[in-house]
Structure 1
């Protein structure tokens, strides 16, 4: 088994640890979208969304491509899509505990 650097693992998981970033990932889970489409779909502001897109891209969670004056964003690969689905599955199992957790640190 490959030796995984724990700090790198924390950095990756941090990419998923923000409500806006999760909204963005869910928004582009099944198809690529432009910044404007993402902003409209999650009712955010463009500057904030752009900062979160840069974080997600920097962490390697999403990829972007330019076409004319538009930038399109999508999940990096099927593994990321599977991970988002796994989050839903695990949450279904533990959601009552998560709802009662008073030790969550923002």
Structure 2
């Protein structure tokens, strides 16, 4: 495998490597939302949520749609939604191992 391919995968996977980003993805998985709606749903702060949205957008996982003064964010496509569902299915099988992992960086 080419080094560029590994680097690209790592950048892509970075989008999934933070609790807040996973929460955002789950929040907008089925329905687009504005930043303020996401902030309300996650009970977070706007600055932090906006930074994570920028990361998710940069990783290619979400897209934004301008409508007047609001930007509506949604998961990029069905493939990303399917990937989030696949994570849940795989985690059902391996969750005990993950929970017991002493190498986990949290």
Asked if Structure 1 and Structure 2 have the same fold, meaning a TM-score greater than 0.5 normalized by the shorter chain, the answer is yes
Deviation at 1:105, TM superposition (A): 2.4
Please give the TM-score of this superposition, normalised by the length of structure 1.
Answer: 0.95
4+ aligned runs moved over 3 Å, structure 1: none
Spell out the pairing of 1:1-106 with structure 2 (5 A cutoff): 5-106=5-106
Deviation at 1:104, TM superposition (A): 1.0
Structure 2: gaps (5+ residues): none
Please give the TM-score of this superposition, normalised by the length of structure 2.
Answer: 0.95
Pairs aligned (count): 105
Structure 1: gaps (5+ residues): none
Listed one character per residue, the Cα deviations across residues 58-80 of structure 1 (whole Å, up to 9, x for unaligned) are 11100001101111000000000
